[in-house]
């Protein structure tokens, strides 16, 4: 009986030590993942902030439409981006409004309108080429990503933060388990001492 108890104590202490070592490794990993990330942006736009935006996309069989509202301070960046993509050939300017429009036999093939904090995109799928449609969708994706205030680096930083929180929870759980095993080992040690004391008392009778 005494041998069995000591075996159980040894197993419990071994498990507790293993959890403690693994927790140390997890903590090290957490510190690496929690290191600061410099916020920069890829592509033609470079926005920051987390302002609320409105972005509505309609992609039907005949047309592709985008309606967007965003922080007016970001408009200049979007104007520059659109100007680089479409040039000045079809550009019309009226005050703060800019419009790119291409028509086929007087019918609008595609149109982009931008004003302070507002964007409209329209594509007639029957008139516009597939490459034009693909370009519009790519532009929409880029503008939406940047007007949301989250770059690839920011999304990666948020993911790293979620991973760190998960590792924190796992580490805390393992610490609790190690503490439980330690308490169990101490209990078994006390039980072994009690049994040994009783055995000695019986031998002395």
User: How far apart, in Å, do the first and last CA atoms of the chain sit?
Assistant: 20
Task: Tell me whether residue 41 is exposed, middle or buried, using C-beta atoms within 10 angstroms of its C-beta: 0 to 12, 13 to 18, 19 or more.
Answer: middle
- pLDDT for position 83: 92
Question: Both tokens of residue 163?
Answer: 């991973």
- pLDDT for position 148: 72
Question: Both tokens of residue 134?
Answer: 């693909």
Query: b/e per residue, 145-184, with b = 16+ CB within 10 A?
Result: bbbbbbbeebeebeebeeebeebeeebeebeeebeebbeb
- pLDDT for position 201: 81
What is the C-alpha separation between 120 and 188, in angstroms, rounded?
A: 73
- pLDDT for position 13: 53
- pLDDT for position 37: 29
- pLDDT for position 31: 38
Give the three-state DSSP class for 2.
helix
Query: What is the number of alpha carbons within 13 Å of residue 120 lying toward its C-beta?
Result: 10
Domain ranges of the chain: 2-36+157-204, 54-150
Contact status, residue 59 vs residue 75, Cβ threshold 8 Å: no
List, for the chain, all residue ranges whose pLDDT scores fall below the cut of 70.
Answer: 1-52, 149-155
- pLDDT for position 39: 26
The pTM of the full predicted model, rounded to 2 decimals, is: 0.49
């Amino acid at each position: 009986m005494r041998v069995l108890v000591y075996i159980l104590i040894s197993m419990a202490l071994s498990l507790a030590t293993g959890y403690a070592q693994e927790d140390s490794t997890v903590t090290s990993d957490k510190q690496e993942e929690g290191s600061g990330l410099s916020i920069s942006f890829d592509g033609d736009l470079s926005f920051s902030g987390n302002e609320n935006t409105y972005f509505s996309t309609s992609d039907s069989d005949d047309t592709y439409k985008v309606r967007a509202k965003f922080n007016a301070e970001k408009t200049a960046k979007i104007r520059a981006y659109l100007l680089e993509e479409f040039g000045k050939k079809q550009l019309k300017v009226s005050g703060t409004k800019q419009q790119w429009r291409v028509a086929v036999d007087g019918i609008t093939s595609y149109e982009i309108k931008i004003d302070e904090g507002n964007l409209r995109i329209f594509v007639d799928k029957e008139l516009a080429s597939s490459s034009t449609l693909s370009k519009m969708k790519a532009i929409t994706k880029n503008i939406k990503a940047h007007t949301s205030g989250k770059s690839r680096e920011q999304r990666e930083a948020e993911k790293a933060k979620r991973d760190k929180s998960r590792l924190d929870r796992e580490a805390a759980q393992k610490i609790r388990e190690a503490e439980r095993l330690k308490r169990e080992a101490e209990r078994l040690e006390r039980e072994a001492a009690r049994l040994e004391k009783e055995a000695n008392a019986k031998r002395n009778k």
